[in-house]
Amino acid sequence: MRFVEWLRVLGVLALGGLAGALQAQTGAGNTVVYRCPGPPVLYTDSISPAEAKEKGCRTIEGAPITVIQGQRAKAVPAAPGSDARPADAKIDPAQQRARDGDARRILEGELRKEEGLLASLQKEYNNGEPERRGDERNFQKYQERVAEMKAALARKESDVAAIKRELAKLPP
């Protein structure tokens, strides 16, 4: 046998021994575990077969299920003076217009910058035929640079489109 086959055989034997140890630990499978439907799905061994049938529960065969009880997170009240505001609080329309104006101004600046970078990339890319550099005597290096430029151009076009979508979401 090859080494890999030996490892498989050892793995199967180890899993078989582990399963036997688990079965011995659980009392040779005397406990019946039920899976009951509904939100949340309930796994239990503390109901009778009649109750399980009434609730539509099914028995679980195979390895035992371990359930770890957790605690629910408690709601932490907001500290006084924090930026949290109640859900029913409204923002002043003038203040919201000012925020929207600031957001529009920032996005328009980003758009101008990204469009400038996109134009320079397109000029350098030269419709897929950029000028060869001195260190690109090997045609493969040239092709790799052209592919990188094409990917950068696609990313930049995607960035410009994303900024335009964000601007369209803002009120005029």
Which residues have CB under 8 Å from 67's CB, separation 6+? Answer: 43
- Residue 87 pLDDT: 63
Domain range spanning residue 36? 30-65
Domain boundary among 65, 82, 110: 65
What are the two backbone dihedrals, phi and then psi, of residue 141, each rounded to the nearest 5 degrees?
A: -65, -40
- Structural domain count of the chain: 2
User: What pTM value is reported for the model?
Assistant: 0.47
Which residue positions in the chain have pLDDT lower than 50?
15, 18-19, 21-22, 24-28
Residue 141 lies in a domain: yes
| DSSP helix/strand/coil, 102 | helix
- Residue 65 pLDDT: 63
- Residue 66 pLDDT: 67
Residues 53 and 97 placed together within one structural domain of the fold: no
Residues 100 and 136 placed together within one structural domain of the fold: yes
Residues 126 and 165 placed together within one structural domain of the fold: yes
Which residues have CB under 8 Å from 109's CB, separation 6+? Answer: none
Residue 17 lies in a domain: no
